[in-house]
Structure 1
Amino acid sequence: MESLQLKNKSVLITGADSGIGKAVALLFAKEGAHISFVHYKDYKDAEKTEEEIQELGVRAISFGGDLNDNEFCKEVVSKTVSEFGGIDILINNAGTQIPCDNIAEIKEEDVRKTFNSNIIGMILLTKAVFPHLKQGSTVINTTSAVAYQGHEELVDYSATKGAIVSFTRSLALQSKPKGIRINAVAPGPVATPLTEKTFEEEEDDENMPPLERNASTEEIATSYLFLATDSSAQFTGQVLHPNGGLIVNG
């Protein structure tokens, strides 16, 4: 029988009630990890995700709240450590996007919401988690192809994703002496509830060749699994690009 790659590992994932985060949570659970995940008050989806994880024979807990709240971040970490005995892997995946094709019309509240969700909350949660990480632990951040290519309707979102790349590289340098690896994944177009809601995109035909359609969340999740295991022992400060062949020079 093939051994599980993440047996009894403790994983904390943000934005795992749907989309890429949920696909990663389920894949890691299949590999034996116990899953703690954060959602932004999407309790119905979160409950379903939690049940699906538990059906795979591992433990799952979830937290609804705002990662921009420092006290909430500390509470999530404290309760996860209490429940699972520690944290081995942190996956910063939560994010939002609000399209606007004219910088003169972009709303201040939308800019602040996007930065709070995508990068400030990421830094606050990482700060809370870091004292619990040890040699061999890993952090994986979700950035995007738009960090390198830009996007005419997602100026502020693209800026946050660029910030995540820089955050990943800088924290990797800081973490090398501790033996903690920090990496990121930069998906290209992916069929998720967020992109469907934002751009009213219809899901691609899965019978199309993989490089001629939006990726499925399951296809993206394997990049996170690679970065979470010893298979990627020489990877830190790096960004994987599961994007269907986009050349991003990153």
Structure 2
Amino acid sequence: MASFPKSPFPKPPFDRQKPQDPPGRDADMDPRPDYGEASYKGSGRLADRKAIITGGDSGIGKAVALAFAREGADVLVSYYDEHEDARETCRLVEEAGRQAIAMPGDIKDPTHCRALAERAAEAFGRIDILVNNAAHQKTFESLEEISDAEWEVTFATNIHAMFYLTKAALPHMRAGASIINTTSVNADTPSPQLLAYATTKGAIQNFTGGLAQILAERDIRVNCVAPGPIWTPLIPSTMPMEKVKNFGAQVPMKRPGQPCELAPVYVMLASPESSYVSGATVAVTGGKPFI
């Protein structure tokens, strides 16, 4: 009988994680997320492309920044205030021989979103790839627990900022450019404990589909990626410890995905090879069907 190699990635149950405030730091996680530092091999698929990645300091954004750089892209890393993590992302980009720009700030502010686009255009001359990835989430057991302020900050971070930054970046994008938005399996099967977050993820998928149609005549593609459970700092910093302990056990692969397992999908969608892919949602779910 044929035998198959086991996954090299960790499975739950996980040890109790250190308490931390959102969006969290990967240095305080055990095991630490795998960003592809030792595994991702580039092949020039994004040679001389210029990218903005929000939430690029850690999690999925960090893995995407590393992969983009190893594929030949320069990267502006947008992040809130996690300066140490952002410096490490930039180090990985520069280690790959590409230019890295770290720009902290609050993407809930449309003025900052415009500044991000202007900074990238000034430094790179244009914007070829925009990855709208930054997100906010918190866990609540009842509707009454969700404050008006929490609802508003979730929408401002997850969907309003996506509108602001995309609108600001468009004047600097040319035919062949790519916009990639991070949605979630919650867009299709919303978790009741993540009501505000899940609602924004549904909005992101709808925004992606509509925008893809608007921008088709400009030959600018728009797609989204729908991750399942992914081992990032957002998890221990926003979920109850009992859920963190068994995070990812509910999918067929019985484990969470690692950020490095998402990055190749973003590379594919950013690459000119995907010239007929627009308006799509690519699910990365560990075997759980996404309808």
* Interval containing the TM-score (normalised by the shorter chain): over 0.9
| Runs of 4 or more consecutive aligned structure 1 residues displaced over 6 Å after TM superposition | none
Of Structure 1 and Structure 2, which has the larger fraction of its residues in helix?
1
Root-mean-square deviation (CA), in Å? 1.7
Q: Which residue of 2 aligns with 1:15?
A: 55
Residues 128-143 of structure 1 aligned to structure 2 (within 5 Å): 128-143=168-183
Cα pair distance change 1:3/1:144, threshold 3 Å: closer
The answer to whether the Cα contact below 8 Å between 2:252 and 2:288 also exists between their aligned partners in 1 is no
TM, length-normalised to structure 1: 0.94
Contact 2:50 2:128 in 1 (8 A): yes
Give the aligned partner of residue 84 of structure 1: 124
Deviation at 1:63, TM superposition (A): 0.8
Question: Where does structure 1 lack aligned partners over 5 or more consecutive residues?
Answer: none
Measure, in 1, the Cα distance between the counterparts of 2:290 and 2:252. 18
Unaligned runs of 5+ in 2: 1-41
Kept after mapping to 2: 8 A contact 1:191/1:203: no
Identity within the alignment, %: 39
Distance 1:158 1:204, change over 3 A: closer
Instruction: Name the residue aligned to 2:68.
Output: 28
Contact kept in structure 1, 2:229 and 2:247, CA below 8 Å: no
Number of residue pairs aligned between Structure 1 and Structure 2 = 245
Residue equivalent to 2:281: 239
- Deviation of 1:5 (Å): 0.7
One-letter code of the match for 1:160? T
Aligned to 1:221: 263
Which residue of the other structure, out of 149, 161, 168, is the alignment partner of 1:121? 161
Q: Does structure 1 residue 51 correspond to structure 2 residue 118?
A: no
Residues 1:87 and 1:67: Cα distance change in structure 2 (over 3 Å):
same
Name the structure 2 match of 1:169: 209
* Partner SS for 2:223: strand
- Rg bigger for which structure? 2
Task: Tell me the alpha carbon deviations over residues 81-139 of structure 1, each in whole angstroms, 9 at most, x when there is no partner.
Answer: 11111100000000010111100221111111111110001110001001111110000
Secondary structure of 1:25 counterpart = helix
Q: Secondary structure at the match of 1:128?
A: helix
Say which structure, 1 or 2, has more relative contact order (CA 8 Å, 6+ apart): 2
AA matched with 2:286: G
Find the partner of 2:140 among 100, 106, 109: 100
Aligned to 2:102: 62
1:186 pairs with 2:226: yes
